[in-house]
Amino acid sequence: MPLIEEFTRTGQWLFRWRSYLPLVFIGLVTLSMVQWAEPDASASFRTSWDFLCLALSLVGAGIRAYTVGHTPKDTSGRNTRSQLASTLNTTGAYSMVRHPLYLGNYFMGLGVALFPALWWLALIYTLSFWLYYERIMFAEEAFLEERFGSEYLRWAGATPAFVPDVTRYVRPSLSFSLRNVLRREYNGVYAVVVVLAILDVAGAWRAEHQVVAHPRWAWMFSVASVLWIAAITIKRRTRWLHVEGR
């Protein structure tokens, strides 16, 4: 099989399972908290570091929210069975970078990878992310080239794949829809808070053999859980989060 076909086939498989395979890395991060994370870090350092990691993850969530908030229906979705694109997005986040959602994913995961304060874990995460998503991006771009032809080639030839070029910014063609963001992104933010709370528990076990989260993480987990339940209830029982054409 030619290498280009192998990349495309592998990328399509990874695309289908992209929401589940990263769970393996979460297991590695949790193990690192139990086995290798420094148990006697000062309280002030741990507090500052925790919020730095959370901030990085929220930056990623913000990138995703901005992107999704300006995109039309049948684009930038969480579809898993096959590639889907009714139109080619070239404005807003897509005017600066070809894969803004994956850029957001990187920062969301980087906050988790940095949480144990182990430099090599962040390096492993970055290299794994590169190898993992490179195949997915390759398969997506092959699909878009076939779907949109010269229109795609003109846009891709001028727009960076992963490192944004803010000088190329073009105002989004659609207004921002908060309801569309809430409908499609509430799981991601909740998952970040849950994972960081779990890692905090793992750190407490490493330090004091106690399965107890720090009060700040217990509080954030509780608030996030209430908001997540509210969001999923509204989505399933009402049409309030559905926006025409989004």
Give the position of tokens 């309801």: 179
Tens-digit pLDDT profile for residues 187-202: 888 889 888 888 888 7
- Interhelix angle for 150-158 vs 119-148, to 10°? 150
Tens-digit pLDDT profile for residues 157-183: 999 999 999 999 999 988 999 998 988
SS (H, E, C) 198-214: HHHHHHHHHHHCCCCCC
143 has pLDDT over 80: yes
* Domains of the chain with bracketed CATH: 3-79+86-174 (1.20.120.1630)
| Alpha-helical regions (H) of 94-170 | 100-114, 119-148, 150-158
- 179 C-beta neighbours (distance < 10 Å), count: 14
Higher pLDDT, 155 or 77: 155
pLDDT at 184: 86
15 has pLDDT over 80: no
Least confident piece of the model among 75-79, 111-115, 160-164: 75-79
223 has pLDDT over 70: yes
